[in-house]
Chains A and B, each alone.
Chain A
Amino acid sequence: MKYEAFIIKYAEIGVKGNNRHIFEDALVQALRRALLPVGSFQVTCIAGRLYVEAADDFDYDEAIAAFQRVFGVLGICPAVTIRRTERRLPDIDALGEAAIRYFESVYGLERGKEAAPGEEKTFKVRCRRVDKSYPMNSMEVDAAVGERLLDAFPSLKVDVHDPEILFHVELREQVNLFSEEIPGPGGLPSGTAGKAMLLLSGGIDSPVAGYQIARRGARVEAVYFHAPPYTSDRAKQKVIDLATLLSRYTGPIRLHIVNFTAIQLAIYEKCPKDELTIIMRRYMMHIAEELALQNDCIGLITGESIGQVASQTMQSLAVTDEAVRRLPVYRPLIANDKQEIIRISEQIGTYETSILPYEDCCTIFVAKHPVTRPRLDIILRHEEPVREELDALTRTAIAEEEIVTCGGRAGNGSDAP
């Protein structure tokens, strides 16, 4: 193990004025939750710096992976820290010795050993002196530490413009030594925004959309439309698995499973075949809005993207959108290409599950040539004769929903890897 501490850099929180402590508290909580399965850590926020210190052995890669799932984390700096002894920071000799040990363990350098040709490393020391009582100023510390490193390692060279290793020495309430920064997911800590209802199919897009909105601090619930016998238990389990994967970022997700078969069959029998999908989607949005309002959600999330399929042309989106009357619909992928969406889904680990080949209820009964430019007035006219029946079926479907909590200790969902 190379490191026992991490400095967590966070992004926009710094500019949030009086609300800053709310965001910081949320981030501290989120980090503690994320690190729980990794080991025993102390997470503290001292003077605008977030420290994570290990109280015990842990797996470094696991810890980094956990940090990378915490929204609000901009960067993770694995660090070596030195505490004060008798309230005093270490003197320059002790500082130099600590720097040498850091280079030995992190970069595997050996004292006094010449580098093989081409294996020299360039570096630069950058001191930040927050504690102004330290007897040397930061430029003096830079020079003194740099000199000691050069003396110890013949393979090191100074490059002040473009060093391979930028070695930070922070003189604060303690000394922090670090040289690496691993990118985090950015965004805002979970729970600092409102809660939204995600329409989760088994596809590639919707988990990514949920991820994107959750990344802005939103809590997420999800709704899945199940259509037995046209969709199977495996298709349903796949969606539970996706929600569980997503919950690694968002915290536990309550998944509402709505039986959509009767509604779908009624539309299929009584509306024009080429309008089946668009009318179906309007009812899905309508049900999602009802469930959202019942569960304190203040928005819907979909994975729609302009022009991706017939039901996502701008005309179709306009018709679908009209079915939602009281809440905004967040469509974070609206302008993304499929390839970009796939890349994110690979990054967040939902892709492999998304491409498992089970039918979802959007792929059954699909007309050969569904409408791509539906007109709202015509759709409304075609819905009219079935509306009463569909409204009754909708009420039944909502009343008979099944709720599965995915992820977290209360989770019924499958275990995420």
Chain B
Amino acid sequence: MNPDDKTAEIYLDNAATTRCDEEVVAVMSGAYLLDYGNPSSMHRKGYEAEQLMKKARQEIAGTLRVLPEEIFFTSGGTESDNLAILGCARAGARRGRHLITSAVEHAAVAETMAALAEEGFEITKLPVDERGLVDPEEAAEAVREDTILVSVMAVNNEIGTVQDLKRIGQEIRKKNPGVLFHTDAVQGYGKIPLAVKECGIDLLSVSGHKFHGPKGTGFLYVKKGTKIRPILFGGGQQNGLRSGTDNVPGAVGLAAAAVQAVSKQQEFAERIGALREGFLTELRARIEGIRINGAQGMQAAPHIVSLSVPGVRAEVLLHALEDKRIYVSAGSACSSHTASGKQPGTATLRAIGLPPECLESTIRLSFSRDTTEAELHMTADALAELVPALRRFH
């Protein structure tokens, strides 16, 4: 086996990042080598770059059926989440100092909320059920007069649960029509349908590298009229909300990847969703005592599988799979950390009430458009072989 032969790899960590699309790299290459001007420059080279930026913005707006001026390019999901939450909290601080989020958010949201709590904002963390779902009515109950913003993710990054954004949006507005609704759609964009208007979403975060786009790119949708302040200050680009020289190649690549992902979203969800179902059926039949986490059926994202294998440490299973050139992710770090005081498992796994024997024995497999049935079959083979062997040495 040639270690440099990447074709023999089975990459099932697409929720971490994806391989960049070749067409995306090609359009970016053009923007780097030919149209390398700064849109802020007054000359023609700058104007041409500005036109590229404008086209990219239009294309991305089209994927969500929103206005181009509602799209703000960022460096990725983390910045989009930070801008949405900090920006709205600071702009709305005089109206109220209360924000609502869920117990299963990505760190980019959870830690931003924690930072606001230190600044004196009040944060309500909505619990989830064993599938990882937020109850829309419970969300509405938490909304108060002084609530500025509710932030609930579209698809959970660890267990793939799809939240009912439409009902959450409706319910919270019944209680307080002025409340802003943000969703971290980093794992949802291009994977599930996202109806921004129907769901009443004001702000939506997206990261480019999760759908074969360039790393270090992303955007935030901000509904026209939303009161938001910048978190980066400088040259006043992008309407003053996001200063910094425009990343033209990044925007162009992001737009190309976004158009591809969203135009093929339905086909992706059907095909990959079916592969996922087949894979889970095979795992259940071949490996004893496993547990599939998160919501299933319509409320499961097509591309994420969270699998608990009691009796095997996730990190060991991950490295054993890596030895077979199958790359997955471990939900949690190893037990030597927990000895030093850290709680076992991750916040999400604890929030869905996973039993203790599963907390450190959970791996995530995440698929892309390039994942094949044969790969999943080989992965099931590998798991069926490794799990009993590793359980012997637990």
Contacts and interface: CB of A to CB of B under 8 A. Distances in A.
The answer to whether A and B assemble together is yes
B393 A365 contact: yes
A404 to B, nearest CB: 16
B393 A357 contact: no
Given A265-B393, A359-B315, A365-B393, A228 B323 contact: yes
B316 interface: yes
B320 interface: yes
B281 interface: no
A268 B390 CA distance: 12
A202 to B, nearest CB: 11
A363 B317 CA distance: 17
A118 interface: no
A229 B334 contact: no
Interface in B341-394: 392-393
A363 B335 CA distance: 10
Given A357-B337, A363-B336, A229 B316 contact: yes
A230 B333 contact: no
Interface string B38-73: 000000000000000000000000000000000000
A230 B318 CA distance: 9
Contacts of A265: 393
A359 B393 contact: no
Contacts of B337: 357
Interface size class of A (residues with CB under 8 A): 10 to 19
Interface string A224-248: 0000111110000000000000000
Q: Which of A229, A231, A269, A363 has the most CB of B within 10 A?
A: A229
Given A230-B316, A265-B393, A359 B334 contact: yes
B118 to A, nearest CB: 26
A268 B319 contact: no
B111 interface: no
Interface string B296-324: 00000000000000000001111110110
Interface in A287-339: none
A232 B336 contact: no
B3 to A, nearest CB: 12
Given A265-B393, A268-B393, A365-B393, A359 B320 contact: no
B10 to A, nearest CB: 16
B270 to A, nearest CB: 35
Given A265-B393, A268-B393, A357 B333 contact: yes
A228 B318 CA distance: 11
Contacts of A359: 315, 334, 336
Contacts of B323: 228-229
Interface in A373-404: none
A308 B320 CA distance: 32
Nearest to A365: B393
A357 B338 CA distance: 11
Nearest to B319: A229
Interface in A330-362: 357, 359
Nearest to A261: B393
Nearest to B394: A365
7 contacts: A229-B318, A229-B319, A229-B322, A232-B315, A265-B393, A363-B336, A365-B393
Given A357-B336, A359-B334, 14 more contacts: A228-B319, A228-B323, A229-B317, A229-B318, A229-B322, A230-B316, A232-B315, A232-B319, A265-B393, A269-B392, A269-B393, A357-B337, A359-B336, A365-B393
Interface of B: 315-320, 322-323, 333-334, 336-337, 392-393
Nearest 6 CB-CB pairings of A with B: A229-B319, A229-B320, A229-B316, A363-B336, A232-B319, A359-B334
